[in-house]
Amino acid sequence: MRNNKKVALITGGAAGMGLAVTSKLVEDGWSVIIADINHDIGVQAAASLGSSTTFIKVDVTNYDDQVAAFEKTIAIHGRIDFVFANAGIAGRADFYDSPDSWPPKPPALQVEEICLRGVVYTSYLAMHYMRRNQPPGGVIVTTASAASIYASPDLPLYSAAKHGVLGLMRSMSEHLKNEGIRIHSILPGAIRTTLHSEGIWSQFPKGDFTPIEEVVSAVLGLVNDPTSTGKAMEISAGEVFDRSQPEFSNETMRRIMTGKSY
Ligand code: NAI
């Protein structure tokens, strides 16, 4: 049955930051679709949060899965106000290891598939479904990473994917400015979720972690600010930094990059 609650779709909503944002939204009176590949924890999360949540099993790398989740959201709730494109993995591929055969086999690109392709699909579908809202509009937040702006020597493919997520957001935000569709990214540091094993997390000094509540608060801040778009919020152990794109080098570059040259 439809009501006046606001509606969110959250990829990777069954664990970690996605679950924390889902819980807060439910507390604030939203209806939330949890779109996650992990059926067991997804069902469990939806059951524990109550009737305002619905779990849909989605592999974000599969376009048809994502379309089905958006369609089901519309079928149940009639609109989508907020999409959190958040599902991801760390993808510790052995990029630098010596190959066991020659020429080297192609590198494993699963992290690109999930963290970049998945976010492209989610953001693209969010834009099209939000254009059909009455009135049109909505807000998208993509989960990028500190690895979107800093080199991450141990995770080059993760960093490449997350740089892509930031570039997508910045480009879309400019284009969608006048359509009432806002899009932002969060760039967290280290959050002790199931992204890495405890074996890896236990090597981090405790003070290096950012409490998950800070991520939730940054996401909700972006969602609830009706005017801003294109923000990239770095979140690091108690501090939040608004990371604008670099200044244009000169007027020629401004013209080229803002589409005024053609
Ligand atoms: P998490 O592992 O606790 O949660 C990730 C969720 O994504 C899980 O529920 C998982 O089942 C789901 N997922 C994974 N692959 C999927 C797929 N193909 N389709 C649908 N769902 C899928 O990890 P966390 O930390 O909450 O990660 C959320 C996002 O935050 C990811 O994009 C991650 O890259 C990003 N991030 C995490 C940081 C951290 O330190 N934990 C730091 C910066 C960014």
We report the CATH number of the domain holding residue 161 as 3.40.50.720
Residue 3 banded pLDDT, cuts 50, 70, 90: confident
pLDDT for position 1: 46
Using one digit for the tens of pLDDT, what is the confidence trace for 97-119?
999 999 999 999 999 999 999 99
Residues 208-217: b if buried by 16+ CB within 10 A, e if exposed = ebbebebbbe
Average pLDDT, integer, range 155-171? 97
Which atom of ligand 1 lies nearest, measured to the CA of 59?
Answer: 19
Q: How far apart are CA 184 and CA 218, in angstroms?
A: 11
Does residue 114 sit within a domain? yes
- Give me the catalytic one of 5, 105, 129, 162: 162
Model confidence over 29-85: pLDDT tens digits? 999 999 999 999 999 999 999 999 999 999 999 999 999 999 999 999 999 999 999
Q: Please state, in angstroms and rounded to a whole number, the distance separating the CA atoms of residues 71 and 58.
A: 12
Mean pLDDT for the stretch of residues 116-142: 98
Per the domain annotation, does 44 fall within a domain? yes
CA–centroid distance, 86 to ligand 1, in Å, is: 6
CA atoms within 13 A on the CB side of 32: 30
Answer yes or no: is 262 within a domain: no
Q: Is the CB of 17 under 6 A from ligand 1?
A: yes
pLDDT beyond 90 at 232: yes
CA of residue 35 to ligand 1 center, whole Å: 12
Q: Is the pLDDT reported for residue 150 higher than 50?
A: yes
Q: Give the CA angle between residues 127, 228, 24 to the nearest 5°.
A: 75
pLDDT of 94 reads 86
What confidence tens digit (pLDDT) does each residue in 233-243 have? 999 998 999 99
Within-domain flag for 2: no
Asked if residue 29 is part of any domain, the answer here is yes
User: Ligand 1 pocket, 88 CB below 6 A?
Assistant: yes
Q: Tell me how far the alpha carbon of residue 25 lies from the centroid of ligand 1, in angstroms.
A: 18
In a domain, residue 121? The reply is yes
Count how many domains the chain has.
1
Domain membership of residue 92 as a residue range: 7-257
Best mutation site among 19, 148, 191 for ligand 1 pocket (most ligand atoms within 8 Å of CB) = 191
Residue 14 lies in a domain: yes
In a domain, 125, yes or no: yes
Residues 6+ apart with CB under 8 A from 113: 61
Task: Report the Cα–Cα distance between both ends of the chain, in Å, rounded.
Answer: 49
Predicted structure pTM score: 0.98
